[in-house]
Copies of this chain bind each other. A is one copy, B any other.
Amino acid sequence: MLVDTGACERNVHLCHHGRSEPGCGDCAVRPISVCSVLTLPELDQLEALSQHLTLDKGQTLFGQGEPADFVFNVIEGCLRLTRLLPDGRRQVMGFALPGDFLGLALQERYTVSAEALGHVRTCRFDREDFAAVTEANARLLKSLHDRARFELTLAHDQMLLLGRRTAEEKVAAFLLSLKDRFARIGHNSVTVELPMGRQDMADYLGLTIETVSRMLSRLDRAHSILLVPGGVRLLDQDRLERLAAS
Contacts and interface: CB of A to CB of B under 8 A. Distances in A.
A107 B153 CA distance: 9
Interface in A135-179: 135, 138, 141-142, 144-145, 148-149, 151-153, 155-156, 158-160, 162-165
A227 interface: no
Contact of A85 (B141, B151, B246): B246
Contact of A156 (B112, B164, B205): B112
A138 B152 CA distance: 21
Contacts of A159: 91, 93, 155, 158-159, 162
A206 B156 CA distance: 13
Q: Kindly report how many copies of this chain are found in the complex they form together.
A: 2
A72 to B, nearest CB: 16
B206 A163 contact: yes
A53 B141 CA distance: 31
Q: Among the interface residues A141, A142, A148, A151, which one has the most CB atoms of the partner chain B within 10 A?
A: A148
Interface in A165-210: 165, 203-206
A2 B86 CA distance: 43
A152 B142 CA distance: 16
A142 B142 CA distance: 9
